Amino acid sequence: MQESTNKPEIAVADPMVPALYRVDSYIKESYDTFTIGLRPSGQENDRATDWAQHHSQPGQFNMLYVFGKGEVPISISAGASGSRLLTHTTRDVGSVTKAMFALKVGDTIGVRGPFGNNWPLESAKGKDVVLVAGGIGLAPLRPVILEILARRAEFGRVILLYGARSPRDIIFKEDLKKWKGQPGVIVYITVDRGSSAWHGSVGVVTRLITQVRFDPENTVAMICGPEIMMHFTVEALKQRGMKGDDIYVSMERNMKCAVGFCGHCQFGPHFICKDGPVFTYDSLSSLFKIPEI
């Protein structure tokens, strides 16, 4: 007769069934970009949402479902520690995100996740961290900065290089101001197109890499943005002496299931939703050379 272990049964949420959240906060970051903070809607969702709320890691994403419109993958743009909200930042670029753009505080939305792997914060302990973001790519890197600032003594210098299309496209403006004032944190911002009121750098973000000082032997780089921008950023970092296995990129594809079943996000032998979205550059270097894969 088998001995009973008397272990409590743990309910596991179905990864394909969205849990109900309500919009608790809404911040308009720019004319087409917004941040929503989500809170679980009702006690019946506590088990299903506890993992997403407290165990998400910087770099992971959730599937957000707007009822009657559809579902999209959106990166988590704030850390879970110290907050009861799930935070996501996205642009109004399609039918689902347009519907999200129109949400109001108190509205209900579905959440599945978190999915994917995370940025290598543990591997970056004791090292300098170079973050390069293009456009909305700053959103998936924001939790990295927040986590490093919360554990400041564990990391070296932090260098954030951020490029936007124009001054009006810059997001997280208040955060950028705060980060600039933190000890050991360097923030450089550039835009593709300036304006009469813009007195900062104009040009692609890769040009900033030559302007910053870091030890390539003791640095971890994390990059998020359009693939062409990431390609040239990697090349610039390698010219500075960095190795491909110390350079991490976050990939984006048309994810549907988020659990590796549908195949929509296949990238060579990888599924972005399951094997990524964060990869070392070395693991993708051959694929980066193939146009429109």
pTM: 0.91
Q: How large is the average pLDDT for residues 257-268? A: 92
2 has a pLDDT exceeding 60: no
Q: Domains in the chain, ordered, with CATH?
A: 19-115 (2.40.30.10), 128-250 (3.40.50.80)
Contact call for residues 161 and 188 (beta carbons, < 8 A): yes
Q: Cα separation of 171 and 169, whole Å?
A: 6
Across 40-49, 62-71, 244-253, 265-274, least confident range: 40-49
* Residue that the structure tokens 């980066």 belong to: 288
Taking only the tens place, the pLDDT of each residue in 179-207 is 998 999 999 999 999 988 999 999 999 99
- Give the model's pLDDT for residue 120: 96
Angstrom distances, CA of residue 80 to CA of 58, 88, 180, 266: 9, 12, 23, 29
Q: Cα separation of 266 and 254, whole Å?
A: 9
Contact call for residues 148 and 173 (beta carbons, < 8 A): no
- Give the model's pLDDT for residue 56: 84
Q: Which of 258, 249, 259 is nearest to 284 (CA)?
A: 249
Taking only the tens place, the pLDDT of each residue in 135-182 is 999 999 999 999 999 999 999 999 999 999 999 999 999 999 999 989
